[in-house]
Every structure is written in C-alpha cells, then in structure tokens.
Amino acid sequence: RASVKKITTSSQALDGLLGGGIETRTMTELFGEFGSGKTQICHQISVNVQLPPEKGGLAGKALYIDTEGTFRTERIRAMASALGLDPKEALSNIMSIRAINTDHQIAIVEELQDLIAKDDRIKLVVVDSVTSHFRAEYSGRENLAARQQKLNRHLHQLVRLAEIYDLAVVVTNQVMARPDMFYGDPTVAVGGHTLYHVPGIRVQIKKSRGNRRIARMVDAPHLPEGEVVFSITNVGIRD
C-alpha cells in the first residue's frame, strides 16, 4: 500500500478519519442524506487535487461527472481563491461532464479510459451522484435485480480505473438516515443501500448543528472505525 497517494479534504479531522486524505487506487463512497455535504466535499477535493504534494494535493486534474446538475463553477472559484490558486486555472483543471441518464453515465466512464490514458495529470474522478439516475430509471421492486446488476458493472469499472491509473475515484450516494442507523446495520437504510458490495472506502456524512457535519468511517478494510466533526464554510470544507 506504499504507493497509495492522498488528497487532502482541507479538514484535518476528516483527513485523519481517512488516514491522511482521499486515497488513490480506491473508490471512496460518500453517503448521506440531502444537504449533508457530499457535493461540497467533491468540489473541495476537485480543487485540492491540484495543489502541490507539499500542500496535500497531487498537482493533478479532476474529472467531475455531474448527474444532478449541482456542479457550481462559482463555488470552485471561491474554494480555489481561498487556497491561493488562480480561480480560472483551477476551473480549467476540472472537466465537468453532465450525465443525463444511466446509459450516458456508463458511456462517459467507458470513454474516460482513453482520456485518462492520454493525460496522466488526471488524478481524481468524481461521480456525483452515482446512484440517482439508476434509482430514477429502475424504480420498483421488479427492477431491483436489473438495476443492481447494471450499477455493479458500472461501479466495478470505476474501481478498475482507480487501480489501473493510480487515481482517486469518489462517488456520492444519497441515503436517508434511519434513526437507528448509527447503531444498526449501516449498509441498509431507508431510500437506498450503500454500495457495500463494491470494494472501497465508505464514509457516512451526517448533518449536525448549523454548518457542522459528522463523518463516520464504515467498515473500512485498513482504517479504524470512528467519527469526526468538520464544517462547511464560505471558503469550503474546514475543521
């Protein structure tokens, strides 16, 4: 595991939970309810991957697959400026692609392979959210098996990208918290499941008071379970 690299989240607490930051060669799932901060973290790491290694980045670029239309250029600019990066340049180092349905989303990831093979500065692939189109298109019990099969293939393709090209893959998954979720089985929740069947790291994000959020590591193979608090501020993710 020596060759795994990390991307800082701009929160020391969250980095600590992740064993130093978002890892390359791994798929990290951020799951949690609406407004918990999944998209904000994705924006922050898309900026932070560009930082030099001594500042917690990989001097790299990001590919941002946006399925919900929530990618915000002005938010990227604000986060970049706060870190002393040129906002225009930071934005140009993030390629955002809007995926309109599951077939489109899958096709984009299939084509990414060529893009990444040609540009070794791409060190982060975000899919925000990886599950929304699948849930919308394959709703109802009778479609569950088909949905799982198609989603599984897609997720494994993403995991392979991470492993082959030594990049970080971060996917989000909106999962409504159940009142007893923190005490019961964390992989089963109202309104959807986590991606427990795919290798990788799972982090639950939960709302707390005001701009405070709680991140919780769930069944990580090489990281201790635990919870930390971070904040969503005007300049981005912070302690």
Chain residues binding ligand GTP by CB under 6 A are 32, 34-40, 70, 75, 174, 211, 232-234
Of the two residues 5 and 43, which places its CB atom closer to ligand GTP in the complex? 43
d(CA 176, CA 191): 6
Of the two residues 212 and 222, which places its CB atom closer to ligand GTP in the complex? 212
Residue by residue, DSSP assigns 20-45 as SSEETTSEEEEEESTTSSHHHHHHHH
Report helix, strand or coil for 76.
helix
Of the two residues 116 and 215, which places its CB atom closer to Mg ion in the complex? 215
Nearest in space to 237 (alpha carbons), one of 8, 7, 11: 11
Which one of Mg ion, ligand GTP, none is in contact with 174 (Cβ closer than 5 to 8 A by kind)?
A: ligand GTP
Give the CA distances from residue 169 to residues 12, 27, 53, 140, 216, in Å, rounded to whole numbers and listed in that order.
Answer: 20, 5, 18, 29, 18
d(CA 73, CA 187): 33
Question: Minimum CB separation from ligand GTP for residue 55, in Å?
Answer: 22
Question: Minimum CB separation from ligand GTP for residue 43, in Å?
Answer: 8
Question: Minimum CB separation from ligand GTP for residue 165, in Å?
Answer: 26
Which one of ligand GTP, Mg ion, none is in contact with 234 (Cβ closer than 5 to 8 A by kind)?
A: ligand GTP
By CB under 5 A, name the binding residues for Mg ion: 38-39, 70
d(CA 149, CA 197): 11
Question: Minimum CB separation from ligand GTP for residue 37, in Å?
Answer: 4
Of the two residues 39 and 116, which places its CB atom closer to ligand GTP in the complex? 39
